[in-house]
Structure formats: C-alpha cells, structure tokens
Amino acid sequence: MPGPAPDERMRPDGRRNTQGIRIDPEAEVTHEPREAVLSALVKHEPGVLSEVSSLFSRRQFNIESLTVGPTHDDGVARMTIVIEEPQPGIEQAKKQLRKLVPTISVTELDQQNTRRELALIKVSGEKPDDVNAVADMYGGQAVDVTAESVTVELTGSKQKIDAAVGAFEQFDVQEVVRTGTAALERGADTLENDD
C-alpha cells in the first residue's frame, strides 16, 4: 500500500481530555469529582436493589452510600444514592439509572437537600452518665442500657455521625451500625413533579 507514512500525514493539533471533551488550549477543562445525591423512585419489587447496585458496580461509579426503603405508595420504593464523580460521570449515572426498567424517575437533589443518616452505637456501660452527656451533645439518646453496655441512637448528616463516632471512642466502641444517607429535596418539590 502506498501513501504517506504516519508522521507525514495531514492532521490538526487539537486534543480531547479523558472525558472526550475537546481541550480548549486557553482554558484546559478538567472536571474534578464532586459529591452528588441521586434520588430515585423505583418499583417496589424483588431484585431491584441488586439490579441498581450491579449497574453501579459494573459501570464503575464510585458509590459513597446507597439506601432503599418503601414509600407511602405500596408499589414504589425510594433509593438515595450518594456518588462521587466528575460531572460527566454524574450525568452518565443518572441516565444509566433511568434506563433500568424498574426505575420510575431519577433526580439529582440540589446541594441544599435535607440529608440524614441513622446510627446505633454500642459502647461500654462503665460510664453511663458520661455517655449520655456525649449523646446529648450530638442530639442522640440512649435506647438500650445494661450494666455492660449502652446503645445510643443518633441521626444527622454523615459528617455529624462521623464526629459522634469519634467522640464515643473514649468509651470503647463495641459496635456501630449506620444506615447510609437518606435525603429529600427542601421545600415543596417532590420527585414525581420535578423529574
């Protein structure tokens, strides 16, 4: 085959970044990862959680937390998925999620959403008063007390719960269970009417 060798061929100077976006030589754009809270209404039927979680793992989306539970509508469950991705990855995650057959709607909650996580923290029962005092500081309360242990219930943002778990370390934390993030849009908007 004739024709010029590779290095003698006509070609432009442009480039794309790893997200397939053309690089503007003036201002090279790269998207840094950010946290996004996705809220999805899905059919409340067996297998949906595994379908969603397998989607996120096979597409290599970086999941921070995924929670699911029933809603006021018997046939519908709601998932809250917190991911950390560059903007194009977040868009892609939303679109992939929307494609699943059991998915009814998907939205990304804005930064001002109401976001809560529940934790139960079991610590040694040696200093119940001190445990109560720390629990108070974080708005928590003891829900189970024995001679050997105190279990405290807490709700709040992930950061607040991280901090509380840290504070409880002094009492010899024995077990922690956390639910992951559940979130709703602030104000009157609901998923059905703004998707």
Partner 1 sequence: MSERASVQADEADADEDEEEQAPVTTGAQSVVRALENAGAEYVFGVQGGAIMPVYDALYDSEIDHVTMAHEQGASHAADAFGIVSGEPGVCFATSGPGATNLVTGLADANMDSDPVIALTGQVPTDFVGNDAFQETDTVGITQPVTKHSYFADDADTVGTEVGEAWALANEGRQGPTLVDLPKDITKGETEIEPAPPKKPDTYDVPEEADDEDVQEAADALAAAQRPVVLAGGGVIKADAADALRDFAFEYEIPVITTMPGIGSFPEDHELSLEWAGMHGTGYANMAITNTDCMLAIGTRFDDRLTGGIDSFAPDADIVHVDIDPAEISKNVHADYPLIGDARATLRQLYDAMPSAPDADEWREQCQEWKAEYPMDYETPDDEPLKPQYVVERFSDLTPDDTIVCTGVGQHQMWASQFWEFTEPRTWVSSHGLGTMGYGAPAAIGAKLAAPDQEVVCFDGDGSFLMTVQELSVAVRENLDITYVVLNNEAVGMVRQWQDAFHEGRRMASEYPWIPEFDKLAEAFGARGFRLEEYDDVEETIQAAREYDGPSVVDAIIDPAENVYPMVPSGGDNGLFALNERHLEQL
Question: Which residues of this protein are in contact with partner 1, per CB under 8 A?
Answer: 1-7, 9-22, 43, 46-47, 50-51, 54-55, 58, 88, 91-92, 95-96, 98-104
Beta carbon nearer to partner 1, 20 or 129? 20
Which CB, 86 or 128, lies closer to partner 1?
86
Q: How far is the CB of 195 from partner 1 (least distance, A)?
A: 11
Nearest residue (CB) to partner 1, 25 versus 169: 25
Q: Shortest approach of partner 1 to residue 138 CB, angstroms?
A: 40
Closest approach of Cβ 192 to partner 1, in Å?
13
168 HSE (CA, 13 A, CB side): 33
> Which CB sits closer to partner 1, 59 or 186?
59
**In the complex, what is the shortest distance from the CB of residue 14 to partner 1, in angstroms, rounded to a whole number?**
3
